[in-house]
Structure 1
Amino acid sequence: MALPRPSPRGHSPLRRLLPPLLAATLIGGYTATVVVPALATSPDVVISEVYGGGGNSGAPYLNDFVELYNRGSAAVSLSGWSTQYAASSGTNYLVTALSGTIQPGSKYLVKLGSAGSQGVALPTPDATGTTNMSATAGKVALVTTTTALTCGSNCHATSSVKDFIGYGAANDYETSPAATLSNTTSATRSNPATDTDNNANDFAKVSPTPQNSQSGGGGGSCTGYTTRIRDIQGSAHISPLNGQAVSNVRGVVTAVKSTGFWFQDPCPDTSDATSEGVFVYTSSTPTVSVGQEIAVGGTVSEYRPSGATTANLTTTEITSPSVSVLGTRTVPAATVIGTGGRVPPTTVIDDDATGSVETSGTFDVATDGIDFYESLEGMRVQVNNPVAVGPGNSYNEIPVLGDDGANASVRTNRGGIVLRQTDGNPERLVIDDAILAGSVPTGVNVGDHFSGPAAGVLDYSFANFHLLLTSPITRVDSGLTPQSTTGPGTGQISVATFNVENLDPTDPQSKFDGLAGQIVTNLAAPGIISVEEIQDNDGATNSSVVAADQTWTKLINAISAAGGPTYTYQQINPVDDSDGGEPGGNIRVGLLYRTDIGLTFAAGTPGDSTTAESVSDSGNSADRVNLSYNPGRIDPTNTAFGTSRKPLVGKFSFNSKPLFVIANHWNSKGGDNPLFGRYQPPTLSSETQRSQQAAVVKSFVQSILAIDSQARIVVAGDLNDFTYSAPVQTLDTAGLTDLPATLSDAERYTYVYEGNSQVLDHILLSSSLTGASHSYNVVHVNSEFATQQSDHDPQVVRLTLP
């Protein structure tokens, strides 16, 4: 326990240890009574507000008042004490006797006289007198007796004076007088917990906010609230008071940022369905600070991040606020999300809405993850033993699970969490540094832990619930390392797929070198690679350039420099700006293949960007299927591939056996409703086009199999969809086997998005290849790491051609 610090005047701290007036001292065998010097810096009860305009023209309150506050840690009896008032230069102090006890952190209201009939009644007073104070200038003393002061300009130093304020033109004050007041303003202590012994510094000229011992002003009481925060939040996604004006909404400030602050009711109810915290939007830097108890008025509003037409949920807030500081109070304890607190649902995001959750009429915090987090919106929360299930991103956001994932559903073998058809993983929560810059560590990989609990306030943005940290955490490295795979066995050919993320010659050489190292070292230099997102020679520059020979050459040279074999490539340039992707980039799929392993690209005329590939029967039993073009594009003018990449088919020969490889990059999932969006279940609008694309590719595969049922076909690439999705299931019905679907749940992912490990990239095999010896795996080298060469993991299959 800290020793009491001296007052600014250098007075002894004994006042903290002795009665306020006298101490008994043994001197030469007899007891002498010694007067203890006055100490205006009170360790407990102080004057917190003075108002003298009661009843006057324009006055907000009918009576004058003096308000007290106990800034100490123990209750103080006021019996035998008084408040006393004198005119600005007077010596005749008027006494109002006090009684009762003031609790620590509580207010005490002394009702005084009235000069007229204007204004509303004060809250129920704790003591009453008849003194009429000046609205503009005067002196008020808190005295530990009821004996009237008779001093002139030095009353503040009298031994019985506990606290003192002189305002306006007063001739007595602590260090400097408080401001001149008016009928509409009071002298209010800016921070009731602080007494600097300087009236000018301690008191602000503001609108009066009288509080009594039942008001909760800065202390333990929970009465006197006009509207509770939980009334504003309600048990729904939209406030029942949306658009309405509210006043005297009280709580304790829990966090502050540049455009507003959060505050929370220190006296929660027993319902889990209603949040006790809310955001106050000030539009500019707030003047409040954490730990202040405040009363807020304003308009309840629902703010939808990123605009009103998006699928984001809204956050409830109070706008155009008026804020009064009532005192200070202990910040409410954080609600633990997880073991020992409120455990979130682990599979269901929402299962009872059919459309907008804002109008569904259902709200189930026990089973629906989206309702669970809504019921904590704006509150202080804490996640114990957080573990990262996604890498940190450039926005300083990290998706985590609490309790080291103990309550989570299916985890990956490397520390992530798997997205499944019936499990959106609502236990995920994103931590970020929107309140406290630098609070989120950098370089975080999947499986990493942290130095302590993640604590802050719960918010919603960018289609996810975010825990905005109010104290920093540091990374504890889990030691995750990139995987490597083996090369093909004797007589085998390895086929891989790899999305290289908008690769073009303007990228730094380090990216080419990094990709090359992964191809050579981690993938063991596959024989054939379906490559997605190769861009044209000037990258994102929106010119008429569509050729990508420089991109391919730079990658091939980097592979050689990394100790790899010589590769060459096959591709077809797209029509300028017709295949989607980064504007100007002209991304396309292509086939990268080795020239040193008995692998050849079959003879044939290359196709062009708009001519459709077709197949015919050669009549040769050993090589039945001919392509009209090699390589060729599959139905490139079909509307299914509008503003999207066109599939490319190439025919190879390995050990004199034909092998067809179809490279794909289907349209993205952009435009789909988010998992934690307002529309439940989420509308997957982009799936329609992928289903059309799947139907086209299925038809082409079937045209080959119609000629040769034992044709060796590999369909590979970034299909931008899951193993259980309708588009991928369409390919399955073509007689293909989707290899990711053959993996265990804990291995089934090629991409990590918002903490969900999921499959977007696929290799599918025709029945002749699955019937022969083969081995397959996803090689996790990118998606789990903060430092990536691409946002996708490659995968490879080693095939024995039957």
Structure 2
Amino acid sequence: MKRHNLAIALSALLTSGAANADIIISEYIEGSSNNKAVEFFNAGSADVDLSTYVLEIYSNGSTEAGNTVPLEGTLPPNGLFVVAHPSANESILAIADKTGNLYYNGNDALVLKDGEVVIDSMGQVGVDEDWASEGVAMAEQTLRRKDSITSGDTDPSDVYEPHVEFDSYERDDISDLGFHLGFGEAPAEPKPEPAPEFGACGDSATLISAVQGSGFSSPMVDQEVVVEAIVTADHQGGSGSLGGFFLQEEDADQDGDPATSEGIFVYHQDTDVSVGDRVRLAGPVSEYYDSTQISNLTDITVCSSGETVSAAALSLPVSAMADFEAIEGMLVTFDHAVVVNSVDTLSRYGEFAISNERHYTPTQVAAPGEAEEPNLGLSSMLIDDAMSGSNPDVVPFPAGNLSALNSLRVGTEITNPTGVINYSFSEYRLVPTEELQYVDTNPRTDSPELADEGDLRIASFNVENLYNGDGQGGGFPTDRGADTEAEYQRQLAKIVAAIVNMNADIVGLNEIENDGFGENSAIAQLTAEVSAESGVDWAYVVFEGSDFVGSDSITNAMIYRTDRVAETGTAVFTTDAPFDFGNRPPIAQTFHDLLNEDEVTVVVNHFRSKGGCSDSAAAGDQDSGDGQGCWNATRVQAAETMLDWLAGDPTGRDVEDVLVIGDLNAYGMEDPIQALIDGGMTDLQMAELGAENHTYLYQGLSGSLDHALASASLSDKVVAVANWHINADEPVALDYNVEYKSETNQANFYNADPYRSSDHDPVIVAIATVEGDTGDNDGGDPDVDDGGSAPPGEEEMPNIDHATTSGSFPLWLGLSALFLALVRRRA
């Protein structure tokens, strides 16, 4: 929500309450796990009836309270009232006057109200921000009100800087909780529980379910316990291991409560144990970064071996995060197959995400604001190699270890995996205890699979910042892309392999270096390499009227096979608004199919990205929260302006067949795509592949940012469309970069093949050209077949924007067409 609209949304919330301003928030605790508490102090001179007071919590920038905690009782002058999270540790609960829904983090606002009157506040309602200033933060700190502050902050919409009124202390510091300005009464010190007798195997012991409890943290933190249970997974040895083992209660001793876990991690390496051992041990309970464990053992013995426990059933999605917590430390088996949903951190940390199905960006499959974003927290979790550290030489997923020739792709199915549930780095993880069974439901293909090859194939390909330095082996690092000549050669080889294998006749490119058209330019070197690798002659479209296409560091470009097509129009681009900044200038050229003398105008685009609007964007370009991100109005304007530009036949050819391709930075149902459809274009991917198609993967959500849209006449000729999944579904480790890779991984993870040549998948369109459909050749413009001039009074259109007119159509290409007509189109 925009700041200037907050007054409307929060009119009731902002009512001043000077007469009731004696109650203040005097201490705020955002500790580990659920150790959260808020202290209130009566700074006035009269008793205050708290029955009309409520603490409201506004989460993640919301303007509506997600949780509320009503206060109670009467608070005398200098009196204190402490509210604690119900699962806080015993020390906090011993001080608390009440427990309540204190579910907050450092980016959530707190508002104390008496009826509808604001009495005090922390944070800024309607803004999602981690509140911090000059070292004082609402996240992971204890904050105490300065002694000089005796009245509350009654404007919860103003800019919030916590250091102005609060001092900070270390996380979990509760030494002053229940005290303020010297007032308060210390609770009676609880008598420590005596350490339990260790006993013998088979003697009574504390159940693991009691240690785990039904909340997100153990109710027995810092207490010494004796447990006896079965080892389900052993991760004691080796550098980088978890340094312990998982225990699970025997089946007969499980409590039957679905809210309490029967498993726990034991941090201990000094006594060797094995899976199936029944172990009796003693040690204190702790929460290690919110993971319940037993460590610092005072005694341990192995009672027997060869025993088993039953694995609990697990299915995704779960209904709440508490469902994961209820199986923390336990042995589980999925009761259904799972799908690999993200491999972003596979090589970095030996982990990948699984889910119940592939998840799509909401605006790929439904209109903005109408589709609910998948809750990946409930429907996904990680599979982990249980090793600490980063960038290991050996990544054990998939079977046989990750390599350039042995990839783990998003969409791969895993049959009912089994393992123990670990919690670390704020994620629940399945650590496999059995070999994962992979089903290759999304295999690599050597080339795009199309139902019909057609006579003419046109592709769109974002080459992810292909920069060639100075074109002579130097000039690295550049603005983007490869950092060294060696990296560039690795990148170039993969992109060339992708272009050659996609078997297209015309390829529109995004994100290639905007360094002109000379022999050392990025486009010239790429074209030369494609020609050399494919064994056929390729050319690139030149804009001789300008050294560069626009002013951005990257640009759009086109290359084509000279034995299949020829340029017949005036190659053009426009830098008129909104293509003067943000949106890269679209480029257009008309091509002549040599087989059937058919013409098509190809337009390559790269619309402005979704990020970084901040306060500089106008209203329509701000992120409205409907899923379209920033700069949506600018992208819509680009779509509409481009259509108007094309209506003027900018290439000088009056051709009805038009193909709009490129990275439009908009998913399938978003406004820019709908603007093109409203302008008469057909979304070929939607028409041929359905809404659930993708060229890009972002944070576990799939969708198409790369598009192909055809005019009405051309759409009738389209026989097949494919998104060739060589990039989005592949681990990023398989790209050309050498950062964060050992020499072993630089060799093992790289191959000069199409896979992970970019972060976007190419789109390929197959067209059945029409024999004798020569576009405007019979309409009065020059006949490109004989190179004739225009009849008097019907000269070609002048250059529009930045343009160059192609030379006359070579005779040898006409002879080639006669020959090609006698043979099959595609060998």
User: TM-score normalised to the size of structure 1?
Assistant: 0.49
Which protein has the larger Cα radius of gyration, Structure 1 or Structure 2?
1
Normalized per residue, which structure has more helix?
A: 2
TM-score by length of 2: 0.47
